[in-house]
Structure 1
Amino acid sequence: MTAFSIIGYGEVGEHFAADLSKSGADAIAVFDIDSRACERAFRAHLKVADTASEAVMQADVVFVCVTAGAVLQAIEGIQYGLAHGPLVVDINSVSPDTKRGACRIVEAFGGRYVEAAVMSSVPPKGIRTPMLLGGRHAAEFLSVMERFGMDLTIFSQQIGAASAVKMCRSVFIKGLEAIALESLLAASHYDVVDPVLNSLADTIPGADWTALTQYMIERTLLHGKRRAEEMRAVSETVRQSGLEPLLSEAIAKRQDWASAGRRLLKKGASKTDLQSLLLSINHSLVRKSRPAATRSSTPSLSEKTSRASS
């Protein structure tokens, strides 16, 4: 029987734990610094450890699923529980240099480090989300997880290569989300959302641009904080290549800004159409961020609609 440990019981860690349990794993220990996350793990009938080291001491496989800025701290937190040589699978979205730093810590304390780059959104596939693997222990991890149906591809023996793919891809994916949000919020102000979407469909045919952009915007509102942190790691990756990360830094700022709209989805904004979602964001975020003079002189979409109807 394979024993598992999950460090970080956020969205990814929670999905992984649930899928492992459904696949027959019954030895899953969890650690998170957030007491609310620990409460959720306890309600899911998982073993909740008091410390990160305790969580990994009996594990054969350790999944480290924290935010980009907390990776090295999380790795340091488990280092004294690695003497028995577990596979430590770092699935976090960080720069190749950070992956290499994490690998050095894990292997210095007896663990076997596996780089994993998650290449798609974890929901809805969960543990079966496609991943690229790196490092000399990748094949061992693939063999151990064979019965769990994971979508794993060994990419390189070199630590950092798989993450370079992930980071460069994120400029594109998170950038498209930020572009969709900024473009259509401005378009909603000028009441030209439909013409913009029609032009996109004409220029790049084949996609349902209304559904696609709404999906992108909702993901940005829901995960903007985490995406912004990832994009700061992407900026570091781009900078280490010798290129100034002009776009990556701007994407991080827009994603961070969008994270304040998470509450809109909790109020049911995601159940509305794209135009209504944009209107909600305009009211809740855009108008608050405008200078007072601009707010008073430039009518919002709702104001223009109201004036037209009267």
Structure 2
Amino acid sequence: MSANLPRLALIGFGEAGSTFARAGQWGGSARAFDIKAERGAIMQQCGITACTSAEQALRDAVLVLSLVTADSALPVARDYAPFLTPGTIWCDMNSVSPDTKRKAAASVEEMGGRYVDVAVMAPVDPKALAVPLLIAGKAAQEAMGHLNRLGFANTPIVGEEVGRASAIKMIRSVMVKGLEALSWECAQAARAAGVLDEVTASLDASEKHEPWAERFAYNRERMETHGLRRAAEMEESAKTLLDLGIEPVMTRGTVVLQRRAAKG
């Protein structure tokens, strides 16, 4: 499968890198580097060239997939950009803020590379190359072409502005990760009180399936109209959780936002 593929470098070879490489079967077209040397064995198992330095991995690469930890995304762009061949496309697929991506873009472009903001919008396992990727940047169209040749199948372009793809992902995560945390806090308290079945049944009965735009508008109106009363109620909910030995982290935040919305 490697005959018509771009020369690829993977920087970082954790779950995402190894999942993509196994699914892609990129063979000799791909090189990889990870600061954890033991991951070289996994690279070899995936059929790609394991490099002992970032410089070696990036040499003559046409496309780079940066797949490191969030706190490493900017330092890696700054430190490794001097190793890029002019014109190389750097796809930053890390979950970081738009501002972090703009700073990384400046470092890459200063060294002659072309930076593309890529947001990975779902867990890579089990979707692998079918995972949705949002792409933004001046080189987005060319990056999409390379990614498609590598086997990535869901790659919409969302604009030319670096940070736009990241903004969609980060703001969406406020809801997705927030609901995860809120449901955890609710379930912990319900178990501690011995009322989990009753609470879940009540939630099921009141579940609605309106589009999110309608939910946003409805929730905002409720908070602006009844925020003070709801904040007072949630303060009592926070006390209930404390009495059960559950720290009301999300509930305290709800108190603050309900009260703020009412004052606004």
Shorter-chain TM-score bucket reads 0.7 to 0.9
Structure 1 partner of 2:57: 55
Matched to 2:195, the amino acid is V
User: How far apart in 2 are the matches of 1:165 and 1:145?
Assistant: 20
**Structure 2 residue 12 is the aligned partner of structure 1 residue 12:** no
- Please show how residues 173-184 of structure 1 align to structure 2 within 5 Å: 173-184=176-187
| 8 Å contact from structure 2 (residues 92, 118) kept in 1 | yes
RMSD over aligned CA atoms reads 2.1
| 8 Å contact from structure 1 (residues 53, 79) kept in 2 | no
| 8 Å contact from structure 1 (residues 31, 50) kept in 2 | yes
Q: Say which of 119, 122, 128 aligns to 2:121.
A: 119
Cα deviations by residue, 1:37-74 (Å, 9 ceiling, x for unpaired): 23322333321111112111132111001111110111
- Please show how residues 80-95 of structure 1 align to structure 2 within 5 Å: 80-95=82-97
Structure 2 partner of 1:103: 105
- Please show how residues 22-171 of structure 1 align to structure 2 within 5 Å: 24-147=26-149, 148-171=151-174
Structure 1 alignment gaps of length 5 or more: 207-285, 291-310
Cα deviations by residue, 1:161-213 (Å, 9 ceiling, x for unpaired): 1111111001111111111222112211222221121111111157xxxxxxx
| 8 Å contact from structure 2 (residues 117, 162) kept in 1 | yes
Matched to 1:132, the amino acid is L
Matched to 2:14, the amino acid is G
| 8 Å contact from structure 1 (residues 53, 77) kept in 2 | no
Q: CA deviation at 1:115?
A: 0.6
Structure 2 alignment gaps of length 5 or more: 210-243, 248-264
TM-score by length of 2: 0.73
Identity %: 35
Q: CA deviation at 1:143?
A: 1.9
TM-score by length of 1: 0.63
Structure of greater Rg: 2
Structure 2 partner of 1:200: 203
User: How far apart in 1 are the matches of 2:97 and 2:9?
Assistant: 24
User: How far apart in 2 are the matches of 1:111 and 1:169?
Assistant: 29
User: How far apart in 2 are the matches of 1:123 and 1:205?
Assistant: 29
- Please show how residues 138-287 of structure 1 align to structure 2 within 5 Å: 138-147=140-149, 148-204=151-207
Report the secondary structure of 1:124's partner residue. helix
User: How far apart in 1 are the matches of 2:127 and 2:112?
Assistant: 32
Report the secondary structure of 1:125's partner residue. helix
User: How far apart in 2 are the matches of 1:18 and 1:45?
Assistant: 8
User: How far apart in 2 are the matches of 1:26 and 1:196?
Assistant: 55
Cα deviations by residue, 1:253-275 (Å, 9 ceiling, x for unpaired): xxxxxxxxxxxxxxxxxxxxxxx
In the alignment of these two chains, the number of paired residues is 208
| 8 Å contact from structure 2 (residues 28, 49) kept in 1 | no
